[in-house]
Structure 1
Amino acid sequence: MRAVKLFLINFLLRISGSLSLRAAQRVGRSLGWLLWKIPTQARDVTDINLAICFPEKTQDQRDQLAKTSLQQTGMTIMEIPLMWEWPVADCLNLIQTVEGEELIREAQADGRGLILLAPHLGNWELAGLYFSSRYKMAALYSPPNMAEFEDYMIKVRGRLGSELVRGDRRGLARLASILREGGIAGILPDQSPRGKGNAFAPFFGMDVKTMTLVSKLMQRTGARALMTYAERLPDGQGFRLVIRETLPGLDDKDPVAATTALNGSVEQCVRALPEQYQWEYKRMRHRPPGIENPYKPGQIC
Structure 2
Amino acid sequence: MGQLGHLLVVALLRTLSTLPYPLVARLGSAVGAALYAIPGRRKHIVLVNLHLCFPEKSERECDELAREHFRHVVRSYLERGVQWFGSAQRIRDLVQIESAIDLEDSNAPPTIFLGFHFVGVEIGCLHYSLNMPAASLYTHMSNTRLCDLAKRQRGRFGAKMIERSTSARKIVRLLQDGTPVMLAADMDHGIENSVFVPFFGVPACTLTSVSRLARMGHARVVPFVTEVLPDFKGYKLNVFAPLDDFPSGSDTSDARSMNAFLETQIMKIPAQYYWVHRRFKHRPEGMPAVY
TM-score (norm 2): 0.93
Equivalent residue, structure 2, for 1:98: 97
Equivalent residue, structure 2, for 1:298: none
Structure 1, residues 59-114: CA drift from partner, whole Å, max 9, x if none? 3222221111111112111111210011111011101x322243656xx6864211
8 Å contact kept, 1:119–1:228 = yes
Fraction of identical pairs, as percent: 25
Q: Does 1:64 align with 2:61?
A: no
Whole-angstrom distance in 1 between the partners of 2:277 and 2:73 = 11
Whole-angstrom distance in 2 between the partners of 1:91 and 1:19 = 13
**Other structure's SS at 2:140 match:** coil
Measure how far apart 1:39 and its partner are. Answer: 0.8
Measure how far apart 1:50 and its partner are. Answer: 0.9
- Among 210, 220, 226, the alignment partner of 2:206 is 210
Equivalent residue, structure 2, for 1:141: 138
Structure 1, residues 154-209: CA drift from partner, whole Å, max 9, x if none? 32111211100011234x43221111122211112211112522111111111111
**Other structure's SS at 1:241 match:** strand
- Among 111, 116, 127, the alignment partner of 2:113 is 116
Measure how far apart 1:225 and its partner are. Answer: 0.9
Whole-angstrom distance in 2 between the partners of 1:109 and 1:83 = 27
Equivalent residue, structure 1, for 2:266: 270
8 Å contact kept, 2:29–2:75 = yes
Equivalent residue, structure 1, for 2:6: 6
8 Å contact kept, 2:101–2:241 = no
Q: How many residues align?
A: 291
Structure 1, residues 106-147: CA drift from partner, whole Å, max 9, x if none? xx6864211111111131111011111122200001122232
Q: Does 1:201 align with 2:200?
A: no
Correspondence 1:149-164 to 2 at 5 A = 149-164=146-161
Whole-angstrom distance in 2 between the partners of 1:173 and 1:186 = 16
Moved more, 245-254 or 122-131: 245-254
**Other structure's SS at 2:122 match:** helix
Whole-angstrom distance in 2 between the partners of 1:109 and 1:205 = 40
Measure how far apart 1:44 and its partner are. Answer: 1.2
**Other structure's SS at 1:93 match:** helix
Whichever residue aligns with residue 7 of structure 1, its letter is L
**Other structure's SS at 1:257 match:** helix
Equivalent residue, structure 2, for 1:236: 232
**Other structure's SS at 2:203 match:** strand
Equivalent residue, structure 2, for 1:299: none
8 Å contact kept, 1:215–1:250 = yes
- Quickly say closer, same or farther: Cα 1:155–1:216, change in 2 above 3 A: same
8 Å contact kept, 1:35–1:42 = no
8 Å contact kept, 2:116–2:186 = yes
Whole-angstrom distance in 1 between the partners of 2:19 and 2:202 = 40
Structure 1, residues 222-279: CA drift from partner, whole Å, max 9, x if none? 1111111221112221112111246535412222111111111222211121111111
Measure how far apart 1:19 and its partner are. Answer: 2.4
8 Å contact kept, 2:220–2:242 = no
Whole-angstrom distance in 1 between the partners of 2:5 and 2:47 = 32
Whole-angstrom distance in 2 between the partners of 1:181 and 1:155 = 23
Whichever residue aligns with residue 137 of structure 2, its letter is L
8 Å contact kept, 1:132–1:162 = yes
Whichever residue aligns with residue 31 of structure 1, its letter is V
8 Å contact kept, 1:246–1:262 = no
Whole-angstrom distance in 2 between the partners of 1:218 and 1:176 = 8
Measure how far apart 1:213 and its partner are. Answer: 0.6
Measure how far apart 1:289 and its partner are. Answer: 1.6
Q: Does 1:128 align with 2:136?
A: no
Q: CA RMSD in A?
A: 2.0
Structure 1, residues 16-45: CA drift from partner, whole Å, max 9, x if none? 323221111111111211232121222211
Whole-angstrom distance in 2 between the partners of 1:246 and 1:275 = 25
TM-score (norm 1): 0.90
Whichever residue aligns with residue 158 of structure 1, its letter is G
- Quickly say closer, same or farther: Cα 1:246–1:199, change in 2 above 3 A: farther
